[in-house]
Amino acid sequence: AFLIPYTLFLIIAGMPLFYMELALGQYNREGAATVWKICPFFKGVGYAVILIALYVGFYYNVIIAWSLYYLFSSFTLNLPWTDCGHAWNSPNCTDPKLLNGSVLGNHTKYSKYKFTPAAEFYERGVLHLHESSGIHDIGLPQWQLLLCLLVVVIVLYFSLWKGVKTSGKVVWITATLPYLVLFVLLVHGVTLPGASNGISAYLHIDFYRLKEATVWIDAATQIFFSLGAGFGVLIAFASYNKFDNNCYSSGKLQILTCRFLQGTRQQSGCMSPRLREAPGTPGPGPEVQIDPHSCTPPHLVPLQMGGMEAVITGLADDFQILKRHRKLFTFGVTFGTFLLALFCITKGGIYVLTLLDTFAAGTSILFAVLMEAIGVSWFYGVDRFSNDIQQMMGFKPGLYWRLCWKFVSPAFLLFVVVVSIVNFKPLTYDDYVFPLWANWVGWGIALSSMVLVPVYIVYKFLSTRGSLRERLAYGITPENEHHLVAQRDVRQFQVVRRRRRGPANSCQASC
């Protein structure tokens, strides 16, 4: 059932907004915050996506550290997650060869069965989750994961410290390696027993589950995680493109290739006959537990680099003192993410990670992208934005793109934001129910980024001199046209009447 809303949202929102961010960054040559010189009131959107990218960076480092720990643990003759008898295994550890069918004798789904060697290695050997009673009892960081996390942060820093001078070289590996790894894992996955059933489950349509709001919300959120839209990543990297680069063609190729490989690889490798029921545990855990050797996240490294580059470029472009001391600023950002990630590598760290994964970039990222679409399409104007694209690439976007930017994508995003709030359910991890205060903390994290949008609008309005009309005009007029405000020649305020023998025009505030 997930495939239908995912494909639908990819077409009506994911691809149009992916294209929008690439073109926006490439034309204006600015980061996520300063790109809003096109409509100063919306600069808070830039700060919101930067904060969201920073939140995600806290726990993405941890997931990469897990992968690194699995890599180091694999340098043995017998992989530690394939059999029982290790120090971390419980007396209930069961050989997976003895478990047949998707449902066990006691009506427990295999995907929720926690006593396989792979599940116990993940939860007891890596996370030490059994030593924590909940989010109120997280304990101290584990030294094995601490070392892995330190390696990740060091590599991240030296990949970003000189900006595109280093990240531009590193990206030749980090941007191409995932495709190679995904292809290798795809080949490996289709050779596993039950791979055909996994692919069938991937393509199977369960119309009954389409009634569930969570399926649609998860599909919408996953779109932006998959494509990187809404995190400032695309804007930041596109700002370094050549002005006449054809981001339209390269963007479509990247979307189609990566989504096909990732989706088919995951379902062929991680879905056997016994796993046709989707795991109920949130976050990356189920994929790691079910098939640790094939379900690794090769795409997380470039995503994490992109997220941190979005934070660094976005703030450095806005504050020149940070740009002049980029190396020190990059160190501060990476070291800060390292310190806060320590909470996620404690014995109860998975509860902290689940909290961040649910609230830091759930409803908040959808809201930020909604505001971005409104700012570009309705205030800056689709026609003006289309002219910008024509200057770069020699052609205007087609009707499909312009309709999606102006009507379809904002309407879809507004619907999903409202539904995600109305249908919110208290957070859980397996059978553990998070306390009420943890849910409030989560919503505080979500609101901390969303509130930046209206707060900045109020700040900009109050700090701008002039009459009410002039303040509004300065707030919605591109900075390079502010001289027109004094002349009362504000394009957004003008209503062009239809001429008798000319093309029909309408209020340019909506164009």
321-362 pLDDT, tens digit each: 999 998 999 999 999 999 999 999 999 999 999 999 999 988
**Model confidence band, residue 254 (pLDDT cutoffs 50, 70, 90):** low
Between 139-148, 158-167, 404-413, the lowest mean confidence (pLDDT) is in: 158-167
**HSE-CB for 155 with a 13 A CA cutoff:** 17
User: What pLDDT sits at residue 202?
Assistant: 66
Mean pLDDT, rounded, for 485-511: 50
User: What pLDDT sits at residue 1?
Assistant: 63
Share of the chain above pLDDT 70, in %: 77
Measured CA to CA, the distance from residue 395 to residue 392 in angstroms comes to 8
- Is the pLDDT higher at 385 or at 4? 385
Enumerate the domain spans of the chain: 2-98+107-273+292-474
> Does an H or E element contain 510, and which?
none
Q: At what angle do helices 43-73 and 349-359 cross, to 10 degrees?
A: 140
Mean pLDDT, rounded, for 281-290: 56
Measured CA to CA, the distance from residue 401 to residue 69 in angstroms comes to 43
Whether the pLDDT of residue 34 is over 60: the answer is: yes
Contacting residues for 271 by C-beta, under 8 A, at least 6 apart: 194, 195, 197, 198, 199, 201, 202
Whether the pLDDT of residue 282 is over 90: the answer is: no
> Does an H or E element contain 228, and which?
none
Between 71-80, 132-141, 179-188, 351-360, the lowest mean confidence (pLDDT) is in: 179-188
User: What pLDDT sits at residue 252?
Assistant: 59
Between 363-372, 395-404, 498-507, the lowest mean confidence (pLDDT) is in: 498-507
User: What pLDDT sits at residue 178?
Assistant: 67
Between 38-47, 141-150, 189-198, 487-496, the lowest mean confidence (pLDDT) is in: 487-496
Measured CA to CA, the distance from residue 95 to residue 145 in angstroms comes to 26
Tokens of 81: 């997650």
**pLDDT tens string 405-440:** 999 999 999 999 999 899 888 999 988 999 999 999
CA-atom Rg of the chain in angstroms: 24
132 is known to lie in a ligand binding site: no
Whether the pLDDT of residue 399 is over 60: the answer is: yes
**Model confidence band, residue 82 (pLDDT cutoffs 50, 70, 90):** confident
**Model confidence band, residue 107 (pLDDT cutoffs 50, 70, 90):** very low
Tokens of 277: 């029921």
> Does an H or E element contain 499, and which?
none
pTM score above 0.95: no
- Is the pLDDT higher at 505 or at 293? 293
Whether the pLDDT of residue 284 is over 90: the answer is: no
Give SS3 for 325: coil
Exposed, middle or buried: residue 271 (CB in 10 Å: 0-12, 13-18, 19+)?
buried
Between 71-75, 225-229, 378-382, 407-411, the lowest mean confidence (pLDDT) is in: 225-229
> Does an H or E element contain 456, and which?
helix 452-463
